[in-house]
């Protein structure tokens, strides 16, 4: 598992990439929780829902209210792409958490069967790092 923190000066740019641009549209969304003037919980009701479909709704919630006090978005690599890149993967996650004016991104891997081998986890961590860097997202590793 990889744990990354975004520097304070990077938060606005990251939020633009997350909510206004297509940067993360290749991912599916598993859930999104936003605490602002009210609590909003979004959960996928279908097996596969693209972040591109949910993103405008999350943007609207954040834009129309006050700054969130908490936000957690769980994105997952599309299942067929995950299985192509990592045949033993059941799911590959990016967990994005905004809390106390800090954004933390963690990675997660769910394997099809139990294994002590961390090769897939390390490969997903490397892929996630490279994806963030290639999109101009700066971070610190925790």
Helix (H) or strand (E) holding 2: none
Task: Single out the residue of 59, 76, 77, 80 nearest to residue 68, CA to CA.
Answer: 59
HEC assignment per residue over 20-88:
CCCCCCCEEEEEEEEECCCEEEEECCCCCCEHHHHHHHHHHHHHHCCCCCEEEEEEEECHHHHHHHCCC
pLDDT-derived band of residue 20, with 50, 70 and 90 as boundaries? very high
Domain spans, the chain:
3-134
Q: Structure tokens of 107?
A: 């990675």
pLDDT(125) > 80? yes
For residue range 65-106, list pLDDT tens digits in order: 788 999 999 999 988 888 888 888 989 999 999 999 999 999
Entry pTM? 0.92
pLDDT-derived band of residue 127, with 50, 70 and 90 as boundaries? very high
Distance CA 69, CA 91 (A): 28
């Amino acid at each position: 598992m990889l744990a990354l923190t975004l520097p304070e000066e990077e938060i606005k740019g990251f939020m633009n990439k997350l909510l206004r641009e297509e940067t993360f549209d290749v991912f599916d969304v598993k859930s999104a929780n936003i605490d602002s003037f009210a609590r909003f919980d979004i959960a996928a009701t279908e097996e596969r829902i693209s972040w591109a479909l949910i993103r405008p709704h999350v943007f609207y919630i954040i834009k129309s209210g006050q700054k969130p006090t908490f936000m957690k978005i769980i994105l997952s690599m599309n299942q067929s792409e995950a299985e192509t890149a990592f045949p033993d993967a059941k799911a590959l996650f990016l967990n994005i958490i905004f809390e106390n004016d800090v954004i933390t991104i963690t990675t997660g891997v769910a394997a099809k069967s139990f294994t002590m081998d961390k090769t897939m986890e390390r490969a997903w961590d490397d892929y996630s790092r490279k994806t963030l860097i290639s999109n101009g997202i700066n971070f610190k590793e925790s």
